[in-house]
Amino acid sequence: MAADPPTSAIEVSNTSPGVGTEFTITQTVHNAASFTIVGAKAALFGKTGVSLPGMIELVGCTGAIICFPLDIEYRAALGDLPSGETRTVVYTFKVLETAPPSVTLQHQLLGDEYSFELLEGPTLNFTVPKADIAVGLTGAASGARINYTVTVKNNGPATATGINVAAAYPAGLNYAGTNGCTRVGTTRNLNCGVESLASGASVTKTFSASAGLLTTGSFTATAQRTASSPDDSAAGNDKASKTCSILLGLLIRC
């Protein structure tokens, strides 16, 4: 005698979908009980209680009365499911930009008064685009002042948001103003923020420091990316520095 099929089974058309990509999940539920399941529903979850609607958007479904998000899960209403009968639902989802790197699916057959075994399905590994932020720093002398220019470039492929570059002018010099950065209190540190930067685009921010009359030596300013979204794909170009030499506060070479 053949064994009953599982109460729920799922198949995924693409287990590595990218952001904005549509894919399908086919869920087949079977009533192995000896009674009719009233108000049967197919349910999809993310393991460890993560929110599926927060990472994949329901585009449509077939085979159900209605499909809908419910808190952290998706459900498909099937009506009453007699003993021994099977229903199949095909969901179409689209991956959101808020998707994490991966999620393991779980699935279940439910009823108004019954719930059956919670089963584990495949893992979705989302292909989340990254944005490589490259930071450059130059310095140019102007009398007793050094004018620093921070260049922030997005090498893509995704648009970057929430970018911040932390810069610092050298000890021994005096703050002399900024255009596009914000000084942190009375320290030598500055934050140079960029709200959004498309792939391939770049912006510049400037700040200045001045030398005293007897200032002499080698002075190094720095700039480093401290925040951006999505994840940066190449940390090696996240920081830059510029060293200038000063002689008696007047002769400056960068």
pLDDT tens sequence across 201-248: 999 999 999 999 899 999 999 999 999 988 887 889 999 999 999 998
User: What is d(CA 252, CA 250) in angstroms, rounded to the nearest whole number?
Assistant: 6
Chain-centre distance for alpha carbon 84: 44
Helical segments of the chain, H only: none
Angle at 55 between CA 52 and CA 58, to 5 degrees: 70
Q: Find out whether 135 and 163 touch, Cβ atoms under 8 Å.
A: no
| pLDDT higher than 90, residue 121 | yes
The residue type at 217: G
pLDDT value at residue 157: 87
Q: Where do the domains of the chain lie, and which CATH numbers do they carry?
A: 8-125 (2.60.40.740), 131-253 (2.60.40.1530)
Which pLDDT tens digit goes with each residue over 57-93?
A: 999 999 999 999 999 999 999 999 999 999 999 999 9
Q: What is the pTM of this model?
A: 0.63
